């Protein structure tokens, strides 16, 4: 079963706009991670936020985590055409079980 | 370059056949994860090994098996292949054990694309 579920499934925006993707999960977690995948390529780690953190920044990325709502959001500011990719959240539960990914959000940034 | 190497990159085979996918993790990483990615199923966790031992098991079919060798490389064996097994198979490695949720960053290979005809 999937732990994380991203929303929306697909998002299309213009270059320069901000993109926000959401992730909901089911069980208690130690950390939540976001990954990016260009079409047909391997996933690349973007950012990790721990369960005791509420917000984290990395360049144009901002991630928030609300453990009470079991949700996280990824904000990409000032998007570029090169940001076009699929974005996945991933979590492992506190019992050391499966490290699973959500179905992903396909982001298209139009020039 | 993530430092994770997967071979072969592409593989075409027939139904009923058996294939072996190989993964070399990043130097020093003890954990290896296998994932299957197909268009209609997303990224499915198959299995994780840590330092040679099975650590966690996901949606891995009985026709599939994996192992991690003393040199830490891993192999995923797929047998009695069916059309539905066509997918991208990813290996990822991590220095973390995954124990008690302490899963750090995963480093992914570029995948092995399996086509079953």
CB atoms A96 and B98 under 8 Å? yes
User: What sign does the dihedral A105-A109-B4-B8 (CA atoms) show?
Assistant: positive
Q: What is the pLDDT of residue A93?
A: 62
pLDDT tens column, B37-61: 987 668 899 999 999 999 888 889 9
- The nearest CA of chain B is from the CA of A89 a distance in Å of 11
Q: Within chain A, what is the greatest distance between any pair of CA atoms?
A: 44
Angstroms from A25 CA to nearest CA on chain B: 14
pLDDT of residue A45: 94
User: Residue with structure tokens 């396909």?
Assistant: A106
Q: What is the pLDDT of residue B76?
A: 98
Structure tokens at A85: 């990719």
Q: Which of A7-21, A37-51, B44-58, B96-110 comes out lowest in average pLDDT? A: B96-110
Interface contact flag, B106 A30, Cβ < 8 Å: no
In B23-42, the residues whose Cβ lies within 8 Å of chain A are 33, 35, 42
Which of B52, B41, B51 shows the shortest CA–CA distance to B60? B41
Q: What is the predicted pLDDT for the residue at B98?
A: 62
> DSSP letters of chain B?
--S-EEE-SEEEE-TT--EEEEEEPPTT--EEEEEEEETTTEEEEEEEEETTEEEEE-S--TTEEEEE-TTS-EEEEE-S--GGG-EEEEEEEESS--GGG-----EE---EEEEE-
């Amino acid at each position: 079963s999937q732990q994380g579920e991203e929303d929306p499934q697909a998002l299309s925006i213009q270059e320069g706009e901000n993109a926000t993707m959401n992730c909901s999960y089911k069980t208690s977690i130690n950390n939540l991670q976001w990954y990016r995948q260009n079409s047909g390529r391997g996933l690349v780690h973007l950012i990790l936020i721990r369960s005791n953190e509420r917000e984290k920044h990395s360049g144009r990325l901002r991630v928030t985590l609300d453990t009470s709502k079991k949700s996280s959001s990824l904000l990409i500011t000032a998007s570029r055409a090169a940001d076009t990719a699929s974005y996945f959240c991933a979590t492992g539960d506190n019992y050391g079980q499966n490290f699973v990914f959500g179905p992903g959000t396909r982001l298209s940034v139009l020039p | 370059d993530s430092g994770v190497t997967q071979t072969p990159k592409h593989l075409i085979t027939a139904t009923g056949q058996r294939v072996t996918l190989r993964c070399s993790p990043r130097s020093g990483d003890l954990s290896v994860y296998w994932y299957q990615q197909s268009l209609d199923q997303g990224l499915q966790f198959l299995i994780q090994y840590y330092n040679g031992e099975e650590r966690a098991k996901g949606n891995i079919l009985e026709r599939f098996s994996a192992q991690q060798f003393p040199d830490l490389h891993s192999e995923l064996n797929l047998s009695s292949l069916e059309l539905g097994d066509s997918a991208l198979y990813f290996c990822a490695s991590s220095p973390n054990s995954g124990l008690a949720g302490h899963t750090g960053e995963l480093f992914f290979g570029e995948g092995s694309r399996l086509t079953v005809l």
